[in-house]
Chain A
Amino acid sequence: MPPAAGPAGGTGAQYADRPWLDPDAAPFIRIQGVSKRFGAFTAVGSVDLDIYRGELFSLLGGSGCGKTTLLRMLAGFEIPSGGSITIDGADMTDVPAYRRPVNMMFQSYALFPHMNVESNVAYGLKRDGVAKAEIAKRVGDILEMVELRQFGKRKPHQLSGGQRQRVALARALVKQPKVLLLDEPLGALDKRLREQTQFELMKIQDQLGITFIVVTHDQEEAMTLSTRIAVMDAGNIIQVGEPSEVYERPKTRKIANFIGTINTFEGNIAAGGKGGWHLACPRVREPLRAPKDADIKDGQKALLAIRPEKITMSKSKPGDDKLQSLRGEVLELAYMGNLSIYRVRVDGGQVVQVTAPNLQRIDRNKIDWEDRVYLSWRPENSLILRD
């Protein structure tokens, strides 16, 4: 993402890449008060969501959070129990799947086993009554794009997992839908292929300018792919924002824990020196400084959170007294190659996780098991979370 203008005012042009920041921009997909109940079970509570043209939008959440149901309502496989869905200005709420300008890439790919790759890709175009020559051309072009030209005559079972995934993508894209829905698009691929395909997906999306909505449970995938992420839990959207925003400013402990790892300290707020606030945590000896921008009151119960990579660890006491610093002892360490993960028990008993990049190949000053260390961070890098 190129750096764009901040949230403070401006005309449409400034928001070219981030239309969600523009209060005047018209959303491309508008989900209003959509809910879905199966009998007594509520799969989707009441969801309001605006998605803009050209976005690569992720619905992120654990299993059973309602993300797939929401996607299926967008595709037209489920009819909402309440609310409405508008795509490009047209009400889609009751339009059957086969009349929606929306295509889906299924988690299982759902390739027709009795048809070869070409017939699979051509299927949607045939349904639209596109002329034969045109079908041949478009199928050829799209297979070219996903690098499967020479596999046109193969049946799905003669393809590898990655190739099937690309056929499924080609089949959904060839109709040039207004919105492409992707249900766990990379879920069935192994790690290496997944990383590679992520970038391919982004490239294709950029080339075609089609709005993508991705359902995923993989927070890393959502972070790398998306323009914005909606985090879902128990049928509701609990936060929407750009990846960095969701990561750096999670609204709740749940979100913070779901996206990455975070250390949390529970305690009570008390007035500290110089007009700041402190958090008295029974499991940490020293009081913890709260970030300045936090909206808190004296005596309130609160949760202070800090990401592991934002903590610095040293054997000597850090000089800067603006830093929050704690003493502790290394309990465990795990070498991960590019970085190491430490679990440190700070004085008072709480265990804190710290990650540190392995900058040197041979580190003479290496921190080891049972070393006494100082942990430090800038208070503004910590967060006060709602529970």
Chain B
Amino acid sequence: MSAGRNADSPQHRALLRNLLPGLMRGLLPGVARDLTRKIDNFLQAHWRGLTISVPFLWLLVFFLVPFFIVLKISLAESLIASPPFSPLTEWAEDGALRVRLLFDNFAYLWEDKLYVETYLNSLKISGISTAFCLLIGYPIAYGIVRAASPAKHILLLLIILPFWTSFLLRVYAWMGILADQGTINNILIWAGLIERPVRLLYSEFAVYVGIVYSYLPFMILPLYASMEKLDMTLNEAASDLGAHPAVTFLTVTLPLTVPGIIAGSLLVFIPATGEFVIPDLLGGGNVLMIGKVLYGEFNANRDWPVAAAVAIALLVVLVAPMMLYQHFQSGESSRGAGKGA
């Protein structure tokens, strides 16, 4: 290298000073553009796949897989260890063991009358509560639909509002009302109707009140949605054809709101059957419901295989109503889509 061509020569430096930015300007954006184009192309080609796969994988890992794990563990043997069940990986070695264990936990549930009774009791309580929700919720929903515009929106807001406050605290509110020294007993004693407190809290009655109170909005909203869709001229048509308002209700309004009734009832019935907080806080030790038993099996007894078996059995009981609900929802949405087309 001669001195003249020294890389540090002023000319060279000047050249670099002029050339480099030019190069940078010309080349780098090219690279960047190339990269963004690649990303863009990739996204253009695959964004649908990405959009589908992210939630799909999430649900697969955190919803479907856990469900099968519960199923597997419900077949395992309980151990006094951490975790308190026989390791899953050992099963495959002995097929016969697997079959025996399958019977073990579920046979235990079936033989112990307590579990069977608890299941039946849960179904009874949630069934009756659902009926009460429907009886109370139907006229309320109808009243809201019939209300004039500003009042209608406020009423609807008032129905939704409790959703945004704490469920737990709303259940807790009834503890204060139903307790031996609670609001109702205080009023009754003050009015001279009773002399000593009536047992309200920690009873089946309290559980009914709690479920109806907590789940009433779940009943009202689907009812409202189905009534809102009702064409009020149909009522007028019925009336015009000689139907008394009561007859109009029975022959037109009621049949046309059946989808709302079913959706609302399932939305109350399904979660109420597995309810844990309400029977625990308001029912105390006196009311047996399956959600509470499951929680107890898992938390207090630390018998996880039995807890898993209880969960599977609960799911078996609820699978029919859940499928029914899904069927209705998909039917509704496809009808809605049809309407939009």
Contact = CB atoms under 8 A, between A and B. Distances in A.
A contacting B, Cβ–Cβ less than 8 Å = yes
Contact of B239 (A77, A108, A171): A77
A97 interface: yes
B242 A114 contact: no
A128 interface: yes
B233 A171 contact: no
Interface string A46-78: 000000000000000000000000000001110
Nearest to B255: A114
**Chain B, interface residues (CB within 8 Å), range:** 10 to 19
Contacts of B248: 98
A114 B252 CA distance: 8
Contacts of B256: 113-114
Give the most central of B238, B239, B243, B255: most A CB within 10 Å: B239
Contact of B243 (A77, A98, A102, A172): A98
B243 A112 contact: no
Contact of A106 (B233, B243, B245, B247): B233
B239 A97 contact: yes
B236 A96 contact: no
Interface in A95-119: 96-100, 102-104, 106, 108, 110-114
A244 to B, nearest CB: 33
Contacts of B241: 98, 103, 123-124, 127, 171-172, 175
Given A98-B245, A110-B236, 5 more contacts: A77-B239, A110-B237, A127-B243, A127-B247, A175-B241
A175 B239 CA distance: 13
Contact of A110 (B233, B244, B251): B233
Q: Is the interface of B mostly helix, strand, loop or mixed?
A: helix
Contacts of B231: 108, 110
A104 B237 contact: yes
B240 interface: yes
Contacts of A113: 234, 256
A44 to B, nearest CB: 18
9 contacts: A77-B240, A98-B242, A98-B248, A110-B234, A114-B255, A123-B251, A127-B242, A127-B247, A172-B241
Nearest to B248: A98
Contact of A98 (B239, B251, B252): B239
A106 B237 contact: yes
